[in-house]
Amino acid sequence: MNILITGIHGFVGSNLVVTLKDSHSIYGLDIVTPEKDSVVKTFTWKDVETTSFPMPFLPKFDAIIHLAGKAHDTKNQSVAQVYFDINTGLTQKIFDFFLESSAKKFIFFSSVKAAADSVVGDMLTEDVIPTPVGPYGESKIAAEEYILSKLRSERGELKVAMQRDKQVYILRPCMIHGPGNKGNLNLLYNVVKKGIPWPLGDFENKRSFTSIDNLCYVVEGLLTKDVASGIYHMGDDEALSTNELIALMCEAMGKEPHIWKMNRKMMEGCAGLGTLLHLPLNTERLRKLTENYVVSNEKIKSALGIERMPVRAADGIMKTIRSFTAESTE
């Protein structure tokens, strides 16, 4: 297959190239176009303006994977409109290109944050009515809505109007990590690395993660198998508690875990005081650090005809952390 990957120079794009290069011809689309190993050619966004069809200088693509986007800014310093210009605007542009092109498959990388900032109930499924909070999630759901506006339901299956042989997948991964990218594990990693005790051991919260190996496996499955168009959540099979994460990190670093089970009510009281006094630990930060965010991956596994993801959540975390401990000792 000829596969076009937007945002090919990013973490996920680089890993997909490694996964797909032996069986497919890989092309890139990015704001920068340096040569990249195993990539035939990288195009610019100007090359896919739909106003310039037909495009004799472009190869006939079989699939498009849309990764390009503005990542979640944990420091909240980005202007909201920037998210919509990139996450919504570029998605509209590349999806319009897909509709005009010969490509039969389109994979859009959205996010679980497009569905929900917090999980109500045991786990987050695809049936949830989206309630994003903040410009990152809102711009992602706006992109999803644009794609869905071009599809229609036929006998319970989503189809592209007038082009029923095209398949469209909206993938909502939860926190992606892998060697070279800790994702949001960075804060916790630095606490553990410095030997600082974790005082929130009394909270047994569970969170879902996405190992880059499992993510690449799923994308390859969507490309090569006959899977129905739709929205699919993505995460590892097992959710992990913060206490389990710390234990895994310490094992990878060869350290003893320092987990303090400070009284829960006392910690909540301290956080309430922190809110009043504008301290680093406040009620909102405590909620974020201790909330459950479990994502169901049953729909994508059923669609791919598998019972389990190839990599266990704990093994994926260990692989990621070991890559950083190896870097720090070099």
For 310-325, the pLDDT digits (tens) are 999 999 999 998 888 7
Q: Is the pLDDT of residue 57 over 90?
A: no
What are the angstrom distances between the C-alpha of 229 and each of 166, 221, 320?
Answer: 9, 13, 31
Whether 45 and 29 have beta carbons less than 8 Å apart is answered as: yes
- Reported as a pLDDT band with limits 50, 70 and 90, residue 155 is confident
Q: Is the pLDDT of residue 241 over 90?
A: yes
Question: Which amino acid belongs to residue 35?
Answer: E
CA separation for the pair 61, 316 (Å, rounded):
32
Q: CA end-to-end span of the chain, whole Å?
A: 39
What are residue 232's DSSP bridge partners?
Answer: 171
Least confident interval from 54-58, 84-88, 168-172, 245-249: 54-58
Token pair belonging to 83: 């998210």
Closest alpha carbon to 327 in 179, 206, 227: 179
Find the mean pLDDT for residues 198-204.
Answer: 86
Whether 147 and 180 have beta carbons less than 8 Å apart is answered as: no
Q: Give the 3-state secondary structure of residue 204.
A: coil
| Residue 302 neighbours by CB under 8 Å, 6+ apart | none
pLDDT digits (tens, 9 = 90+) for 60-96: 999 999 999 988 765 555 688 989 999 999 999 999 9
Cα dihedral sign, 245-247-253-258: positive
Q: Determine the pLDDT at residue 327.
A: 64
pLDDT digits (tens, 9 = 90+) for 14-53: 999 999 999 999 999 998 878 889 999 999 888 887 665 6
CA separation for the pair 48, 54 (Å, rounded):
10
CA separation for the pair 297, 140 (Å, rounded):
19
Least confident interval from 45-59, 174-188, 283-297: 45-59
Highest averaged pLDDT of the listed ranges 68-82, 143-157, 175-189, 205-219: 205-219
Q: Determine the pLDDT at residue 283.
A: 86
Q: Determine the pLDDT at residue 41.
A: 93
Superfamily of domain 2-173: NAD(P)-binding Rossmann-like Domain (3.40.50.720)
Whether 28 and 14 have beta carbons less than 8 Å apart is answered as: no
